[in-house]
Every structure is written in C-alpha cells, then in structure tokens.
Amino acid sequence: MKLPQIFSNPVNIRSFVKGSSIFSIGDDSGEMYVVQSGEVDITINGQVVETIGPEGFFGEISLIDETTRAADAVARTDCTLLPVNRHHFLYMIEEMPLFALHVMKGMADRLRNADRRTEQ
C-alpha cells in the first residue's frame, strides 16, 4: 500500500529542514504523518528508537487513543511529510480496511522492535 499516493495533496505537504522538531513528547496530537521524502527520527529521552523513511508513517498512536505525543519526532534529513488528521484517518479506516491493517502491522512491527531492544 503506497501511503504517499493515498494522501498526496500538494496543499497539505509540510517541509522540515534537517534537525527541526516535528513534535515533542507531551504535545497535543491531531495528526499522523506519512513520509514523502527524507527521514525522521523518533526519539525517547534523547535516544533514537526508530528512523522512518519514505512511505513510512508515524504519530498514529495518538490518533487512535487521543492522547498526547509519547515521543519526539525530529527531521533526520530535510524531509517532506503528508499530514493525516483524525477525520481523514477515521474515513480511511472505514473506507479502506486494508489501510487499517497496514497501520496495525506498522504498530506491531514497532512493538516487536521495542521488545528486542529491551531484551538486549
């Protein structure tokens, strides 16, 4: 599933320069992001826990549980991101069940990777 193609809308594209903050732990949420180009580091307590590249997504957990951000997101490189607000997110889940499975798979992969990190 090519998420950038699904959400592509030139009006909504956001650009970030290397090193800039996309969001911080505790920020209010309202959007997830799909990486169109570049890379984004997800960090907790200053440690990179994941790097998200093109076609990857992040920030979805706060759309699901409607809580504040649980990590920081920082542009590892210059990047362009496609924001997906809660309304659009829920619409996609309703209209495209494979989208929901894609998001769940991404979350499951992150959970498995976090488990591996704690075992080391």
- Kindly provide the b/e burial profile for residues 30-46, where b requires at least 16 CB atoms within 10 angstroms of the residue's own CB: ebbbbbbebbbbbbeee
Decide if pLDDT at 39 tops 70.
yes
Q: List pLDDT tens digits, range 54-66.
A: 999 999 988 888 8
Residue 76: count other Cβ atoms within 10 Å of its Cβ. 18
Gyration radius of the chain over CA positions: 14
How high is the pLDDT of residue 12?
Answer: 79
- The average confidence (pLDDT) of the chain is 87
Q: Domains in the chain, start-ordered, CATH in brackets?
A: 3-115 (2.60.120.10)
Of 88 and 39, more confident:
39
Classify burial at 83, counting beta carbons within 10 Å of its beta carbon; exposed 0-12, middle 13-18, buried 19 or more: middle
User: What average pLDDT does the segment 75-104 reach?
Assistant: 90
Expressed in angstroms, the distance from the first to the final Cα of the chain is 32
